[in-house]
A and B are shown apart, each in its own frame.
Chain A
Amino acid sequence: MSMYAQLVETGVNRVQSREEMSAEERVFQERVDAGIKIEPKDWMPEGYRKTLIRQISQHAHSEIVGQLPEGNWITRAPTLQRKAILLAKVQDEAGHGLYLYSAAETLGVTRDQLYADLLSGKVKYSSIFNYPTLSWADIGAIGWLVDGAAIMNQIPLCRCSYGPYSRAMIRICKEEAFHMRQGYDIMIALCRDSTPEQKQMAQDALDRWWWPSLMMFGPPDAESVHSAQSGQWKIKLFSNDELRQRFIDQTVPQAEYLGLTIPDPDLRWNEERGHYDFGEIDWDEFWNVVKGNGPCNRERLDTRVQAWENGAWFREALVAHAEKQAQQGEKAA
C-alpha cells in the first residue's frame, strides 16, 4: 500500500509464480520484466488494470484536493510576488490532476465516473490533505515537506510499467521541482534573518506537518500481498519504508540549516546503519484520518461537491453553445 494506493485491492490473494500464469500473463510479465512499456491497447491482467485505475485516479484526486489547503492562503500571501508564485503552484496542481486523469482514462474509465467516485467518498485521496493550513508558514512547510515527500515517491514512478502513467509522472516531476523550492524558500525567509515570531511560526508549522508527512508514504508493507504484486507488475518500485527513510535522511540536514527542531526526540544518526533512526509513527492516527475522521475530511469533500454542483450550469452552457455553433455552421455550409 503506497502513497496513492490507500485501500487499493489488486484482486489477488497471493503473487503468482510463472508456472501458475496463463500464456498471456506470462508474455505480459516478460514484457514488464524486460522494461518494455505497456500501452493502452495491449493485453493486461484485469488486476493490473483495476489497480492502476485506482492508484492513478487517487493520485489525480490528491492533486485536485491538494489545491485546497494552499488555495486557503492565496488572498493572504505576504507579498504580491509570493501570491503570484502560490497561484502558479496551485495551477500546476490542476495540470497534474489533468495529466493523471487522462492516464487513468486510457484504461477504460470515464472522467465523469472518476469524479463521481471521488465525490461520493468511494475512492480516496492522499490523507495529508485532510490537515488544515493554520498560518502562512504552513504554505512553506507544505512545499518543503509534502511536495518533498511526493517527489521522493514520484521519481521512481517515472519508470513504472504503464506508458501513460510513466509519461505523466515525467511531466509532473519536471514541474514539481519548483514546488519544493518554493516551500523551502518561504522557510528560509521565516527562519534566517527573521524575527523570533516568524521563526516560532515556522517551528510550529514543522511541529504539525512532520509526522503527517512521514505517514504519506503509507504503513510498513512487509506483510502486504498487494504491495508484492504491485512490485512484480512494476507499479510500485520501492517499499514504503525505503522511501520514508530516504525522505528523513534528506530532510534532517534541511531542517538543521533552518535552525528548526524536528519534533521527534528519538531522531538520531545511526553510524552503523548509515541512516537516521526515528521514533514510532502513530498509525492509529493515520488510519483514523484515512477513514474520514481527520480535521478537514468533510470540509474538503464538501468543497469539491459544491464546486461540481455550482459549476454545472457553466459546463452545460458550454455544451449548448458548442452545439448551437455546430448547427449554425451546418446551416451556412
Chain B
Amino acid sequence: MKEWPLWEVFIRSQHGLAHKHVGSLHAPDAAMAINNARDVYTRRNEGVSIWVVKASDIVASSPSDKEPLFEPANNKVYRHPTFFPMPDEVKHL
C-alpha cells in the first residue's frame, strides 16, 4: 500500500497575521490536503486561509549549523532602538 505524502499545514488566523505553521497530515493530493487541513486544524474558527506544502519541498537549516549561521546577529545590538539613549526633552524619537 503506497504511503500518502506528508504535507505541512500553515493557517492565517482571523486577524490578518502571516500564515503560521500548525501541524502536518498525510493526504494523497493537494485538494484532499486542503480539505483535511480544514477538518483538522480549523474546527474552532482558527483561520481564514490555508496553505499546504509537501514536506519534501521544505528546505530547513541544519541544527548543527546554528552557531555560525546566526552568529552575525549576536554582536550587532545597535539594531535595537534601546541601544541609543535619547534626551527626554526631545519628542517623537
Contact = CB atoms under 8 A, between A and B. Distances in A.
B32 interface: yes
B24 A102 contact: yes
A325 interface: yes
Interface stretch (A67-75, A179-187, A230-238, A314-322): A314-322
A312 B2 CA distance: 11
Contacts of A41: 60, 62-63
B43 A98 contact: no
A291 interface: no
Interface string B48-85: 00000000000010110000000000000000000000
20 contacts: A41-B62, A88-B43, A91-B43, A92-B43, A94-B40, A95-B40, A95-B43, A102-B23, A102-B25, A111-B26, A112-B3, A315-B1, A316-B1, A318-B28, A318-B29, A319-B2, A322-B28, A322-B29, A325-B29, A326-B29
Nearest to B62: A41
A39 B63 contact: yes
Nearest to B40: A95
A98 B3 CA distance: 16
A58 B92 CA distance: 58
B86 to A, nearest CB: 36
Q: How large is the interface on B (under 10, 10 to 19, 20 to 34, 35 or more residues)?
A: 10 to 19
Contacts of B3: 110-112
Given A95-B43, A102-B24, A319 B4 contact: yes
Nearest to A42: B63
Interface of A: 39, 41-42, 88, 91-92, 94-95, 98-99, 102, 105, 110-112, 168, 171, 175, 312, 315-316, 318-319, 321-322, 325-326
B32 to A, nearest CB: 7
Contacts of A318: 4, 28-29, 32
Contacts of B24: 102
A91 B41 CA distance: 11
B82 to A, nearest CB: 26
A214 to B, nearest CB: 31
Nearest to B6: A105
A110 B4 CA distance: 11
Contacts of A92: 43
B32 A112 contact: no
Given A99-B23, A316-B1, 20 more contacts: A39-B63, A41-B62, A41-B63, A42-B63, A88-B43, A91-B43, A94-B40, A98-B23, A98-B40, A102-B25, A105-B6, A110-B3, A112-B3, A315-B1, A318-B4, A318-B32, A319-B4, A321-B28, A322-B32, A325-B29
Nearest to A102: B24
A99 B62 CA distance: 24
A315 B29 CA distance: 12
A322 B7 CA distance: 15
A166 to B, nearest CB: 13
Contacts of B29: 318, 321-322, 325-326
Contacts of A316: 1
Contacts of B62: 41
B63 to A, nearest CB: 5
